[in-house]
Amino acid sequence: MAVLSLKDASITINSVDLSNRANSVSVNYEVDSIEVTAFGSTGHIFAGGLQNNSCEISLMQDYAATNVEATIYGLVGTTTTLAIKATSSATSATNPLYTISNAFLSAHTPVAGAVGEIAMTTLSFTGGTIVKTTA
pLDDT per position as a tens digit, 86-109:
999 999 999 999 999 999 999 999
Domain containing 44 equals: 10-133
- Let me know if residue 85 belongs to a domain: yes
- Let me know if residue 86 belongs to a domain: yes
pLDDT per position as a tens digit, 18-40:
999 999 999 999 999 999 999 99
- Let me know if residue 121 belongs to a domain: yes
The angle subtended at Cα 60 by Cα 59 and Cα 63, nearest 5°, is: 110
- Let me know if residue 30 belongs to a domain: yes
pLDDT value at 77 more than 90 = yes
pLDDT per position as a tens digit, 122-134:
999 999 999 999 9
Domain count of the chain?
1
Is the CB of residue 128 less than 8 Å from the CB of residue 53?
A: yes
- Let me know if residue 4 belongs to a domain: no
- Let me know if residue 63 belongs to a domain: yes
Question: Which pLDDT band holds residue 4 (cuts at 50, 70, 90)?
Answer: confident
Q: What is the DSSP letter of 17?
A: E
- Let me know if residue 1 belongs to a domain: no
Provide the pLDDT for residue 90. 96
- Let me know if residue 91 belongs to a domain: yes
Mean pLDDT value of segment 5-11:
94
The angle subtended at Cα 7 by Cα 100 and Cα 76, nearest 5°, is: 35
Question: Which pLDDT band holds residue 60 (cuts at 50, 70, 90)?
Answer: very high
Judging by beta carbons within 10 Å of its beta carbon (0-12, 13-18, 19+), is residue 2 exposed, middle or buried?
exposed
Question: Which pLDDT band holds residue 1 (cuts at 50, 70, 90)?
Answer: low
Using the CB atoms, write b or e for 117-135: b if 16+ within 10 Å.
eebbbebebbbbebeeeee
The CATH number linked to 23 is: 2.40.30
